[in-house]
Amino acid sequence: QEIAGVQELGMTGRGEFSQIGTFLSQSVDSELSGNVIDLCPVGALTSKPFRFSARSWELSCRDGVAAHDSVGSNIIFHVQHDQIKRVVPRNNEAINESWISDRDRFSYTGLTHSDRLLSPKIKQDGQWTYTDWPTALRFVADKLKTIAKNKADRIGSLVSPNASVEEMYLTQKLMRSLGSSNIDFRLRQGDFSHQDSHPKVPGLATSLEELEKADAVLLLGSNVRKDQPLIGHRIRKAVEQGARVYVQNPVDFDFNFTVTDKVIVSPEACLVQLSALLSAIISGNKKRTPKGLRPLLKGVEHTEQHTRWVEDLKSAKQGVILLGNLAVGHPAFGSLMQLANVLAGLTGCTLSVLPEAANSVGGWVAGCLPHRGVLGSDVTTSGYHAQAMLNQPMDAYVLCQVEVEADCWDGHAALKAMYGAECVTCLTAYETPLMRDYADVLLPVATAYETSGSRINAQGDWQSFNAVVPAPGEARPSWKVLRVLANLMDLDDFDYQNTTEIHDELYQMVGEVSVSNAMEWACPDSLSSLLGNGEGVPCVSPISLYSTDALVRRAPDLQQTRDARSMDPMVRAHPNTLNALGLQGENIEVLVGMDQDSQTLSVCADEGVAENCVMIPINHQHPGHLS
C-alpha cells in the first residue's frame, strides 16, 4: 500500500497461525504489485514465473535498463544457462529508487514466445521460404538501391520508439544516405501540424526527484498511473506531502492518489476547457499575451472552477503541467501543445510531455525525424512524417522493430499502405499473421535484452546497457543488420564494429541532453476549426499498458492480469451518449471499423467516459485486433 497506493494484501490469524493473503474475492492487480516480493524479509512471497525454476545461488546477476516506458528503470537480470529467470530492481534514487513496474519485471517471459522469428525469410511468388542472411540482405539492398535511383523519396522507414539510440541513429543515417528523409518514430502521435515549431527535445522538463516536490500538478490527457507507473508513484508521493492534482481527461481513470478536482470531457471539449483556463487568466488582465491569443479566446467562457484552478497553479511554488499519452495522440495535439505552453508561461508552471516509450527522447536526439537531423539540426530536404507516410503510401518501407497493425496511430491506414507497397522489409523479433501477408522480407533481430546500446529516458539521462542473453536462432542485433545493408549498398561511413563506436559518434555531436518543451508560438487559426465538423462521435482509444510493444504483448503472465483483461475491445460510452445514439438496452452490439477491416463489438454503459464520445480500448494481446 505504501508503494502502489492500493491495499491488496493483509494478514489473518495471530502468532504462529498468521497468514498473508489477498482480501476476500480480490486478487493482487496493481501495476506495481511485484515490489512486495522484494519487500518480503523472509522470501515467502515469490514471483510465479520464477517459482521453483532455479536456486538463487545458481543465478548470475547482470545489470540492465528496462525497455518499456520512458522512466528507464535500472534493473538486475538473474540468468541461468543464457536464460533470464528473474528481474529485480537495481537501486537508483534519481530514476526508479528501489522499485520497478510489473511490466518491467515480467516482460522477459515473452522472449521465448512461439512468434519468435529465428531465420531470415523471403516471399517469392506469394510463398515464404527460409533463406540465409547473405541472400536476404542482398535481396533487400538490391531492391532499395533500385528504387532509390529514381524515386528515393518513395522509400519510408518507421522505427520503434523503444529502439536504441544507436539503432535510430543508424536508420536515419542510412535513409538519408539513400536520399530519403521519410523516417519517423512518432508512431502514435495524432497531429503534426505544428511540428516545425515543436521543441527540439520534448520530455520531462523537471527531474523525477523534483516532481515529487511539486505542490500543484495539472494532468492533461493522461492515465499516468498505468502509462508511466513510476512517474505516477512520484506524483503520489507529492500528494502525500500536500500537493494538489487537477485532472482534465476524456475518461475518469482510477488514480492511486487523491485528485483535488477533475473535468471529464470529450476530446473535442478538451481544447475548449484548456482555452477556458487561459481565458480565466487573461480576463481583466492587461498584461501582454502572445499575438492572436485574445482574438482566439474571444467568446470562450470560463467558470469559477477554471479561475480556481489557474489561481492555484499561479500561486504554486513548484507547479507542473503534464501532457500524457492521450494528449499526444489527440488529433489537434499541435494546438493543444501551443495552448499548454502559453498556460505554463502565464502561470509560472513547468510544462512537461510524458514520453510514451523507452526511447522517445532518444528519437529526437538521434534525428530520427523527417524534418530535423541530430538534436534538431536542419536537414536539406524534409520528408514525410509517420501519418503522411501511411496516408500517401511509399513504394518501399523499412520497418525497424515495428508491427504496424499494433504500433501505429491508425492501424487501418498502416495496413493499407503496407499492402500497396512494392517492397516491405521488416527488421523484427516476431512475426505475425498480418506481417506474413504484407511483408516481402522478414529479418530476425534481437530484442532489447539481447543487444547492447543506449536509451535516453524522460528526463534526458543517457543509459547504456549490454546484452543480457544471446539472441535465439539466427537473430542478429538491428544495428548490425543496418550496417551490413549500408555496406551492401556502398554507402559511406558505416564501418562500425560495435555499438560503442556509434554511441561515441553521436555523443560527440550532442553531449548531455537538456529537455525543454518551450516552443515558438504559432496561433491556431480558430478553435472551431479544431473541433471537427460535428459528424460522428469522437473516439478515445487508450492502449493497454500490457499492449504497448511487441515483447510485452507476448508476455503470458502480463496478459493474464486484470489490467490486460479489462482492456478487451468493446464500445464504452456514457449512458447519456448511448441514449442520444439510440443504443439503449442490454446485449447491444455495433459494427466498428473501416472498409473490410471491421469488428462487431459489445456496447457497455460507463459513467466514467465523458459525454459525447465513446471509448474503445486497444488491446493487442494478439496483434491484428482492430486499430
What CATH number has the domain bearing residue 575? 2.40.40
Whether residues 68 and 94 share a domain: the answer is yes
- CATH assignment at residue 501: 3.40.50.740
The string of pLDDT tens digits covering residues 392-434 is 999 999 999 999 999 999 999 999 999 999 999 999 999 999 9
What is the Cα 312 distance to its own chain's centre?
Answer: 30
Q: Which residue type, as a one-letter code, is found at position 417?
A: A
41 CB-side CA count, 13 A: 0
Average pLDDT (531-537) is 69
Q: Are 217 and 246 in contact (CB under 8 A)?
A: yes
pLDDT bracket for residue 531 (50, 70, 90): low
Hey, which of 148-162, 527-541, 587-601 has the most confident mean pLDDT?
148-162
Gap between the Cα atoms of 240 and 536, Å rounded: 42
Total structural domains within the chain: 4
Whether residues 611 and 500 share a domain: the answer is no
Residue 518, domain member (yes or no): no
Average pLDDT (523-551) is 83
Domain limits for position 580: 539-615
pLDDT of residue 624 exceeding 80, the answer is: no
- CATH assignment at residue 219: 3.40.228.10
Average pLDDT, the chain: 92
Q: Are 191 and 334 in contact (CB under 8 A)?
A: yes
Which of 110, 142, 176 delimits the end of a domain? 110
Q: Are 603 and 589 in contact (CB under 8 A)?
A: yes
Which of 289, 318, 353 delimits the end of a domain? 353
Whether residues 388 and 505 share a domain: the answer is yes
Q: Minimal CA–CA distance to 208: which of 318, 71, 362, 322?
A: 71
Whether residues 503 and 586 share a domain: the answer is no
Q: Return the pLDDT at 310.
A: 97
Residue 214, domain member (yes or no): yes
Average pLDDT (323-352) is 97
Whether residues 296 and 371 share a domain: the answer is no
Nearest 5 degrees, angle CA 170-CA 468-CA 459?
Answer: 60
Residue 76, domain member (yes or no): yes
186-195, 366-375, 556-565: least confident range: 556-565
Q: Which residue type, as a one-letter code, is found at position 588?
A: I
Helix boundaries (H) for 185-324: 208-211, 224-227, 229-240, 267-282, 293-296, 304-315
Residue 534, domain member (yes or no): no
Average pLDDT (322-343) is 97
Gap between the Cα atoms of 478 and 398, Å rounded: 12
Which of 303, 319, 353 delimits the end of a domain? 353
Average pLDDT (65-91) is 97
Residue 227, domain member (yes or no): yes
Average pLDDT (205-230) is 98
52-56, 221-225, 566-570: least confident range: 566-570
Residue 319, domain member (yes or no): yes
pLDDT bracket for residue 568 (50, 70, 90): confident
Q: Return the pLDDT at 8.
A: 57
Query: What are the cell numbers at 274?
Result: 484548456
The string of pLDDT tens digits covering residues 58-69 is 999 999 999 999
Whether residues 70 and 44 share a domain: the answer is yes
Whether residues 447 and 380 share a domain: the answer is yes
Whether residues 498 and 586 share a domain: the answer is no
Gap between the Cα atoms of 175 and 381, Å rounded: 12
Q: Are 336 and 326 in contact (CB under 8 A)?
A: no
The string of pLDDT tens digits covering residues 19-36 is 656 654 556 678 998 998
Whether residues 304 and 252 share a domain: the answer is yes
Whether residues 506 and 547 share a domain: the answer is no
Provide the percentage of residues in the chain whose pLDDT is more than 90.
81
Residue 625, domain member (yes or no): no
Q: Are 66 and 72 in contact (CB under 8 A)?
A: yes
Tell me how far CA of residue 20 lies from CA of 12, 25, 39, 40, 106, in angstroms: 7, 15, 13, 11, 22
Q: Give bridge partners of residue 398 from the DSSP assignment.
A: 157, 425
N-term to C-term CA, the chain? 35
Q: Return the pLDDT at 622.
A: 40
Kindly report the backbone phi and psi dihedral angles of residue 447, in degrees, each rounded to the nearest multiple of 5, phi listed first: -80, 180
Whether residues 363 and 505 share a domain: the answer is yes
Q: Return the pLDDT at 623.
A: 39
Q: Return the pLDDT at 379.
A: 96
- Which residues are CB-contacts of 612 (< 8 A; sequence separation ≥ 6)? 266, 268, 269, 537, 538, 577
pLDDT bracket for residue 42 (50, 70, 90): confident
Tell me how far CA of residue 66 lies from CA of 161, 291, 365, 527, 564, in angstroms: 14, 43, 19, 40, 20
Average pLDDT (215-229) is 98
Q: Are 546 and 555 in contact (CB under 8 A)?
A: yes
Relative to beta strand 614-615, strand 539-540 is parallel
pLDDT of residue 595 exceeding 70, the answer is: no
The string of pLDDT tens digits covering residues 425-480 is 999 999 999 999 999 999 999 999 999 999 999 999 999 999 999 999 999 999 99
Provide the percentage of residues in the chain whose pLDDT is more than 70.
92
Whether residues 182 and 210 share a domain: the answer is no
Q: Return the pLDDT at 123.
A: 97
Q: Minimal CA–CA distance to 512: which of 365, 402, 373, 386?
A: 365
Residue 519, domain member (yes or no): no
Q: Which residue type, as a one-letter code, is found at position 106?
A: F
Residue 267: count other Cβ atoms within 10 Å of its Cβ: 25
